[in-house]
């Protein structure tokens, strides 16, 4: 495969609605995607993910900015000239064609010799272990199988960039997990640059080399799943990815590459993220699993909720008047603390991230 680099430079898209209202769907985004990377655009519904993808595919024209695939500036090219292929949420297969013909369709349009078309379709059917489906029409297949055909139809074009718009949303939860693993495996096998739109954080975390968090047409953060989780850029990202406690703290000491912060009277040494001055009030993120329940803990708080979840135990305690979530892993041999009793705990200093 000829994996391509993708670059968005100051891309904006303004829609004008029937009532002459302007909607800024995408607001000045910059993004640099390396060849072979798997990148997810993740964010709540309406944040501009689909519009971004459609501008890359050529179905929408940017209001401003430039898009490059490889070294080529592509804003003026029609979709068929862009070296992209898209997998849609609703599969978009031709209902009257069998699987083989559905997959062959794009190649036939390119007027390739019959032998080459057949060889390429067979190769993809083999890669996706779908040889036995070649003669079926879409109505004779499950949603998951149809989505695999739709993926095969995109892959057979050997595009430089593969695009996905919420491809698993119509499948049930179990099949979604299975297909997610299959997409990732296949992508790694063929090494194709992939851009995948989803509003499902676990999908994005499980698939991506890089996650792009969007909100209201703006990119909030770009990073690996670990970076996004451990070092969220702001409280929106912290709350959107996983669960987060956001606490107040004060900078007590400024060191070379760290701070000492005061969290309700307890000092913690933490890594430097941004520049702060002595005495600054800051917000810190503490994940529920980064709180250590122990008899020697620094804090004591009254338990408001106590739930045994099997693999972990969840508490909500009253922490200086605000709810604090605590998740205790592998709780089987630990004695549980009931509602209205007190729980002792400390924060794990290494997991504290200053916003
Ligand atoms: N053709 C259009 N005309 C007017 N507004 C649109 C059009 N397409 C999308 N929008 C608006 O642009 C914003 C972003 O939409 P979209 O990119 O589909 O978001 P997402 O895929 O993240 O859910 C939304 O407010 C949506 O209503
Ligand atoms: Mg969308």
Distance, CA 64 to ligand 2 centroid (Å)? Answer: 20
Under 8 Å CB-to-CB from 60, ≥6 apart: which residues? 13, 51, 54
Distance, CA 78 to ligand 1 centroid (Å)? Answer: 21
Ligand 1 pocket test, pick from 12, 20, 42, 48 with the greatest ligand atom count within 8 Å of Cβ, gives 48
Q: Which residues line ligand 1 (CB under 6 A)?
A: 15, 17, 23, 25, 43, 45-51
Does residue 264 fall inside a structural domain?
yes
What's the confidence (pLDDT) of residue 89? 86
Which ligand is closest in space to the CA of residue 26?
A: 1
DSSP symbols for 249-277: EEEEEE-SSEEEEEETTEEEEEE--S---
Q: Find the angle CA(39)-CA(41)-CA(43) to the nearest 5 degrees.
A: 150
Q: What is the mean pLDDT of the chain?
A: 93
For residues 212 and 285, membership in a common domain is answered with: no
**Per-residue pLDDT tens for 197-251?**
999 999 999 999 999 999 999 999 999 999 999 999 999 999 999 999 999 999 9
Domains of the chain: total: 2
What's the confidence (pLDDT) of residue 334? 62
For residues 135 and 222, membership in a common domain is answered with: yes
Distance, CA 185 to ligand 2 centroid (Å)? Answer: 24
Does residue 1 fall inside a structural domain?
no
Distance, CA 48 to ligand 1 centroid (Å)? Answer: 6
Q: What share of the chain is helix, strand, coil (3-state, %, to 5)?
A: 30, 35, 35
Alpha-carbon dihedral sign for residues 290, 293, 298, 302: positive
Can you tell me which atom of ligand 1 is nearest the CA of 50? 21
For residues 109 and 255, membership in a common domain is answered with: no
Residue-number span of the structural domain to which 296 is assigned = 243-354
What backbone phi and psi angles, to 5 degrees, belong to 149? -65, -40
Distance, CA 59 to ligand 1 centroid (Å)? Answer: 13
Does residue 60 fall inside a structural domain?
yes
The residues of the chain scoring below 70 in pLDDT are: 1, 332-335
Can you tell me which atom of ligand 1 is nearest the CA of 43? 22
Can you tell me which atom of ligand 1 is nearest the CA of 48? 17
Mark which of 203, 238, 273 sits at the end of a domain: 238
Q: Which residues of 254-276 are buried (b: 16+ CB within 10 A; e: fewer)?
A: eeeeebebebeeeebebeeeeeb
- Domain at 340, CATH number: 2.40.50.100
């Amino acid at each position: 495969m000829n994996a391509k680099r993708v670059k968005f430079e100051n891309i904006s898209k303004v829609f004008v609605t029937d009532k002459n209202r302007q909607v800024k769907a995408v607001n000045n985004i910059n993004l640099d995607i390396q060849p072979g990377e798997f990148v997810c655009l993740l964010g709540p519904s309406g944040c501009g993910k689909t519009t971004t993808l459609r501008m890359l595919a050529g179905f929408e024209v940017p209001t401003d900015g430039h898009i490059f695939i490889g070294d080529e500036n592509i804003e003026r090219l029609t979709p068929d000239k862009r070296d992209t292929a898209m997998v849609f949420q609703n599969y978009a297969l031709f209902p009257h064609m069998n699987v083989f013909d559905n997959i062959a369709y794009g190649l036939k349009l390119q007027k390739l010799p019959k032998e080459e078309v057949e060889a390429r379709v067979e190769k993809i059917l083999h890669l996706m272990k779908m040889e036995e489906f070649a003669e079926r029409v879409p109505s004779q297949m499950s949603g998951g199988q149809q989505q695999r055909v739709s993926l095969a139809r995109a892959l057979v074009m050997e595009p430089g960039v593969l695009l996905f718009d919420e491809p698993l949303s119509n499948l049930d939860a179990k099949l979604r997990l299975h297909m997610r693993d299959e997409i990732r495996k296949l992508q790694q096998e063929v090494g194709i640059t992939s851009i995948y739109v989803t509003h499902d954080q676990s999908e994005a975390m499980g698939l991506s080399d890089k996650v792009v968090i969007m909100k209201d047409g703006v990119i909030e953060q770009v990073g690996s799943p670990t970076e996004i989780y451990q070092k969220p850029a702001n409280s929106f990202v912290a709350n959107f990815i996983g669960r987060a406690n956001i606490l107040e703290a004060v900078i007590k000491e400024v060191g070379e590459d760290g701070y000492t912060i005061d969290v309700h009277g307890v000092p913690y040494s933490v890594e430097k993220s941004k520049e702060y001055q002595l005495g600054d009030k800051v917000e810190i993120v503490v994940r529920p699993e980064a709180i250590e329940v122990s008899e020697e803990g620094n804090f004591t708080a009254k338990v408001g909720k106590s739930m045994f979840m099997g693999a972990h135990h969840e508490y909500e305690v009253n922490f200086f008047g605000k709810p604090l979530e605590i998740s205790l892993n592998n709780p089987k041999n630990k004695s549980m603390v009931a509602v209205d009793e007190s729980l002792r705990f400390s924060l794990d200093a290494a997991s504290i991230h200053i916003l």
